[in-house]
Amino acid sequence: MASYTSLGDQALKAFNASNYSDAITYYTQALELNPEVPDYYLKRSTSYQRSGQYELALHDAELAVVLANKRGKREMIGSAQMRRGIALHLLGRYGDAGFCFDAAEKRVGEKEKNMLAIWRKKLELALEKLDEDDVNREVTILEFPQVEIPKPKQVQKAEVDKEAEEFSLPSPPPESAPISTVAPPAPSASSAPIGVVTPANKIRHEWYQTGTHVVMSLFVKGVPKDKAVVEITDKNISISFPLPTGADFTFDIDPLWDSIIPAESKYNILSTKVELKLLKATPGKKWAALEGAPEVIVKPTENQTTESASGGPAYPTSSKKGAKDWDKLARDLAAKKKDKGTTKEEVEEAGLDYDSDEGDPVNAFFKKLYKDADEDTRRAMMKSYIESNGTALSTNWAEVGRGKVATSPPEGMTAKKWGE
C-alpha cells in the first residue's frame, strides 16, 4: 500500500502539470491516510477552485487555515486565508472574502502579495456593483473557522456525503399527479444561452514556448469580452469571467515558472479560447513548466561535473552564441585550470580579458559574473558561498533561497568544525 507521502508526491506532480483531476484524486487518497497535512488541503483547494468546484475549495481552505494555525505556520496561514477568500469571492460572498484577505495580508509571504493585490482589486470592482445594504457585503465568518478535522479514512466519505447533499435528486411527484404529454415550446433565438457554454469542469489549458515568449491558451467557448478580466504581472497571471450560473470562473497561475515583462505581454479573447502571449524576462531561458517550481541545484565534485536534467540557469550575454549557463562555464574553467591551464579562447569566450591584470581567470570570471548579475543572482552567490563555508557557489536563488546551503567539501575530504 502506498504511503501518504508517496501519494502526496504523485499529487504534486499532477498539480504542477495542471492535471487537477488527478491531483484531487491523489491528495484525497493521501489525506485518507493522514488528514492533518495543511499543504495537501491547500493544494487540493486550489485544484478544486481551478476545476470550478468552489464549495469544496472553500471547505479545504478552511481546513488548511485550522491546521496551519495549529502548527503555528504563519505564512501557510496567510496562504490558506487567501485561498479561503478567493473561494468566498467566487461564491459571491464578498464581505467574507474581504475579511479573509485582511487576515491573509498580515501573514502572507512575499511571493503571494501580487496575487493578493489582484484579488483585492477584483473585490473592489465587485463591491462597486453592490447596493450598500446588500447582504453579500456582510461579514459572517470567524478568522479561524470552527471546522472538524477529519479522522483517517473519513476524508473521502465526508466529501461524497457533501456532494450527495448538495446534488440530491428532487422527490418524485405523487402518483396522482397528471403527467403532461405536451412537448415544451422550442426556445426562441432570444432565449438562447449567451456567454460561456463550456462546463466549468471541462475548461482546460495548454501552453508552449519559444525562445522569447510563453503562449498559454485557456480553452473555453463564449467568454464575453466586456466582462472578462485578465491580469498580467511579472510573476503571475489571472483570468476571470462570469458563468451562466452567475458565479465567476477564475484561472490563475501564481507564481509563473519565471518572470515575464507585463508591458510587452498581451492577450486575446477568441470565440473558442483566451490566449495569452507572455514575453520572457530572460530570453533563451527554457521553462520546465508553466507554474513555478524549484530548479535542481548542481553540486560538482572535484573530479566530475553532474548536470541536472533541465540544465543550469542561462543568463543574457553579448556573445554571438547566445545565452550561457554560467554555473557550468565556471566549473569548466576551474577544471581546465587545474588540469592544463585555461586557454585564451576559453577565457575570452567567458567574456573576460585574457591579458588583464586580474590574475587568475577563474577569479576574474566570478568578479565579472557578480558585477553583471541581477540582484537575485548576487544574493544566491553570497548566500551559497558563505553558508557552505566556501565549498559551493550557485547563481540559482530559486533553490538557494529555500534553506541553508550545506558544506560540500571536495571528494576525499571531510568538513570539520573549528578546533576539531
Bond prior to 199 in cis (omega within 30° of 0): no
The three-point CA angle 231-235-239 to 5° equals 25
What pLDDT is attached to residue 418? 57
Report d(CA 286, CA 258) in Å as an integer. Answer: 9
Q: Kindly state the DSSP code that residue 404 receives in the 8-state scheme.
A: P
What pLDDT is attached to residue 349? 45
Domain residue extents for the chain? 4-166, 203-279, 296-420
Per-residue model confidence as pLDDT tens digits over 112-138 = 888 899 999 999 999 998 888 888 999
What pLDDT is attached to residue 190? 40
Q: What is the mean pLDDT of each run of 10 residues along the chain (420 residues)?
A: 88 92 94 93 94 93 94 92 95 94 90 88 91 89 90 61 54 47 45 71 88 91 90 92 86 90 92 92 90 51 44 44 51 51 48 49 64 76 79 77 74 61
Q: What is the crossing angle of helices 20-33 and 4-16, to 10°?
A: 160
CATH topology of domain 203-279: Immunoglobulin-like (2.60.40)
Q: Pairing between strand 314-315 and 324-325?
A: antiparallel
What pLDDT is attached to residue 320? 40
Q: Which residues contact 19 (CB under 8 A, 6 or more apart)?
A: none
Q: pTM of the full predicted structure?
A: 0.46
* Long-range Cβ contact pairs of 6-10 (< 8 A, separation 24 or more): 7/33, 8/37, 8/40
Per-residue model confidence as pLDDT tens digits over 190-204 = 444 468 988 888 898
Report d(CA 127, CA 133) in Å as an integer. Answer: 11
Q: Kindly state the DSSP code that residue 111 receives in the 8-state scheme.
A: G
Report d(CA 40, CA 103) in Å as an integer. Answer: 21
What pLDDT is attached to residue 308? 42
Nine-digit cell string for 104: 491573509
Is 43 within 8 Å of 23 (Cβ atoms)?
Answer: yes
Pick the CATH number of 4-166 from 3.40.1190.20, 1.25.10.10, 3.20.20.70, 1.25.40.10: 1.25.40.10
